[in-house]
Chain A
């Protein structure tokens, strides 16, 4: 039981650290007033964020 509580607290600490990192760097960053791409995995080109609205079709 004691170990379970300890592990829960450790997990909470890791989530809090991750959340703080994300809030500090990813959420608030803007370049020329536009939000840059978020962190991701892969060697593909990252799509712009937020996405461009779809063009209206005639």
Chain B
């Protein structure tokens, strides 16, 4: 590993922020109101503590750390998918008809990803774990990226008044889009001079960015009641004299 210190700083800071946010949510009694956020933060704390134990015990290049990392990543990607689903639910809080459709869509999406991965896994049984990681984890990750983008566009289309939800979705967007954009950059530059540095540093950096955005949102942005939509708010009438001007 080229920069051990930097890696440990990212790792420990990330765990510290996650644990602090979980503690803050419990301390300020926001635990029940933030279903998606506390669920995801708790998953991150559990996943990252497991990885930290394996890293400390066996080292970065060990096979055990490799297995621990990608096994916990499987759980984290599933949690991320759950979070995006819960954000969709929160966005459609007063749109029951729309939510019923979106619920079907999300279930079908997960079934499709699992089915495609199942076909690929059945063809590569000799290296189950690697193909499982590559096929299922990665495809669900990119599916979450597309879903999160759709959710962001939907919030703008609905003209949502839930500022907290918009910022939370932006935070998730940093986490998903950052590594994908870096890979795109590496691909376009044919693995140039800084490609290795970018490829190894971006994933921790993007999750760290998401945690900072979420920390700001949880501490400073109050939750609006029930995800109301602005389109229902009547605009004040413009006086006739002003409108002529």
Whether A44 touches B11, Cβ cut-off 8 Å, given contacts A8-B108, A18-B142, is: yes
Chain B interface residue count, CB cutoff 8 Å, equals 63
* B180 in contact with A21 (CB, 8 Å): yes
Contacting B at CB under 8 A, from A1-28, are: 3-4, 7-8, 10-12, 14-15, 17-19, 21-22, 24-26, 28
The distance from the CB of B139 to the nearest CB of chain A, in whole angstroms, is 6
With the chains together, A42 CA to B72 CA distance in Å? Answer: 10
The distance from the CB of A22 to the nearest CB of chain B, in whole angstroms, is 5
Contacting A at CB under 8 A, from B86-123, are: 101, 104-105, 108-109, 112-113, 116
With the chains together, A47 CA to B67 CA distance in Å? Answer: 9
With the chains together, A14 CA to B104 CA distance in Å? Answer: 14
Whether A42 touches B104, Cβ cut-off 8 Å, given contacts A31-B195, A36-B196, A50-B130, is: no
The size bracket of the interface on A is 35 or more
With the chains together, A12 CA to B108 CA distance in Å? Answer: 8
Q: Is A51 an interface residue (CB 8 A)?
A: yes
With the chains together, A46 CA to B211 CA distance in Å? Answer: 18
Complex contacts, A46 vs chain B, CB 8 Å? 69, 200, 203-204
Q: Which of B51, B80, B179, B187 is within 8 Å of A44, CB to CB? A: B51
Report whether over half of chain B's contact residues are helix, strand or loop; otherwise say mixed: helix
Complex contacts, B204 vs chain A, CB 8 Å? 42-46
* A18 in contact with B146 (CB, 8 Å): yes
With the chains together, A53 CA to B127 CA distance in Å? Answer: 14
Residue of B47, B138, B191 with highest tally of chain A CB at under 10 A: B138
The distance from the CB of B14 to the nearest CB of chain A, in whole angstroms, is 3
Complex contacts, A25 vs chain B, CB 8 Å? 180, 183-184, 186-187
Complex contacts, B105 vs chain A, CB 8 Å? 7, 10-11
Q: Is B215 an interface residue (CB 8 A)?
A: no
A-B residue pairs, 6 tightest by C-beta: A43-B14, A18-B142, A36-B199, A45-B7, A31-B191, A11-B108
Given contacts A21-B145, A31-B195, 5 further A-B contacts (CB under 8 A): A25-B187, A39-B141, A41-B203, A42-B207, A53-B63
